[in-house]
Structure 1
């Protein structure tokens, strides 16, 4: 028997917040400052690879967010052949453009307000550090619309480990069977949530084929329809 829905758990980056758009803005500014002629898609991919390599140090507390950025851009510019790169200056340039581009994805705040008004409990579950994510949430007032925010250093393990979703459910005082996870990552927000016993909705802007028939898929948050609880249409 399916239990009534009592809680909705959201990913943050590229689910509520347009992280990809902001990242492209930051990288464009960095490329202009450094005289790079790398295709945007390649620059984005190289940057993402350095994030994956350095973030474990950040998550273990061995680096601050700023130190991680400086190291990331020093390595990235070195890889791209920039002589004696200034990681500090690159960080300032990137962060300035990234912050200037901050925006929510369409429907983000409205969905949270509608769910809250419907009496559902809400959480944000993110695989990044509070030092960074809390600023985004506060800037847009999203922290006032949710009951709990769980960042990577505050859960027993990051998504897609089941313990991450169970920690979010515990924070909302619901069982996994009473919660749905909404996010853009098939692995971290959908598969992991389903394995942990939650329902899941995939925010799938490119309309990629849904690998199974159980999960709901929407192009954006505006496609979510909330009626007497939760309902999402393909």
Structure 2
């Protein structure tokens, strides 16, 4: 069996890998639910909201709407689906964003992980399928921006994950070959399957402990477990 090239770079997803986007989203949706007296269960509201994001994101990526326009459209559709008459997407966006931003926080161990990777001499990038204006602000707000060498957002790649060109753009930004990099993230499709198809290694951040589609892929439930999985020495970690 051929020996793998030495690891030189770690590429990480942002939302729900380093940044607690799920908690922020729930805070924003809770504010909307209270304001509009919505009766659906929080998990159902979260799932409905996620479905609208998936439907609208292609419009954002194609440039048909900007980030704000995408939010207004999302909340107009979401509230309309939930029976709110003549929903005001602008007002809903302002309400949601205020609560969402107030809850911004890194996931536990994010800063320690990035410091450990840098101490081990590894290059670090964040590769995220969202717009730079939002993602750069999030990264700076939780004070992680100084710990990464490159941030690649949807504007910085030929196509979003899981297109192979997304991972190759991150590798090029770090000056490494795909075989010298590992992709780390919570999405099996975007951070594991796509990365493997592009020639990178991958680690699945599987916090809920779901069954892996491929049990041969290494996984962690917390960021604290990643340095040991990557073979970093205790001194580096």
Give your verdict on TM over 0.5.
Answer: yes
Tell me what 2:49 maps to: 47
Tell me what 1:140 maps to: 142
Tell me what 2:166 maps to: 164
Tell me what 1:219 maps to: 221
Match of 1:124, SS state, is strand
| Residue of 187, 190, 202 corresponding to 1:188 | 190
The 3 A distance-change label for structure 1 pair 195 and 154 is same
1:5/1:230 contact within 8 Å kept: no
Q: Deviations over 1:62-120 (max 9, x none)?
A: 21211111111111111111111111111111111111111111100110011111111
Match of 2:84, SS state, is coil
Q: Once the 2 structures are TM-superposed, how far is the Cα of residue 195 of structure 1 from its aligned partner?
A: 1.0
Q: Determine if the alignment matches structure 1 residue 119 to structure 2 residue 121.
A: yes
Unaligned runs of 5+ in 2: none
TM-score, length of structure 1 as denominator length: 0.95
TM-score, length of structure 2 as denominator length: 0.93
Instruction: Give the 5 Å matches for 1:1-234.
Output: 1-226=3-228, 230=232
Q: Once the 2 structures are TM-superposed, how far is the Cα of residue 226 of structure 1 from its aligned partner?
A: 4.2
Match of 2:202, SS state, is strand
Aligned equivalents of 1:52, 1:158: Cα separation in 2:
13
Higher alpha-carbon deviation: 207-216 or 33-42: 207-216
Q: Once the 2 structures are TM-superposed, how far is the Cα of residue 230 of structure 1 from its aligned partner?
A: 4.5
Aligned equivalents of 1:61, 1:118: Cα separation in 2:
39
The 3 A distance-change label for structure 1 pair 227 and 212 is closer
Match of 1:225, SS state, is helix
Match of 1:182, SS state, is strand
1:125/1:168 contact within 8 Å kept: yes
Q: Once the 2 structures are TM-superposed, how far is the Cα of residue 141 of structure 1 from its aligned partner?
A: 2.1
Q: Once the 2 structures are TM-superposed, how far is the Cα of residue 166 of structure 1 from its aligned partner?
A: 0.7
Q: How many residues align?
A: 231
Unaligned runs of 5+ in 1: none
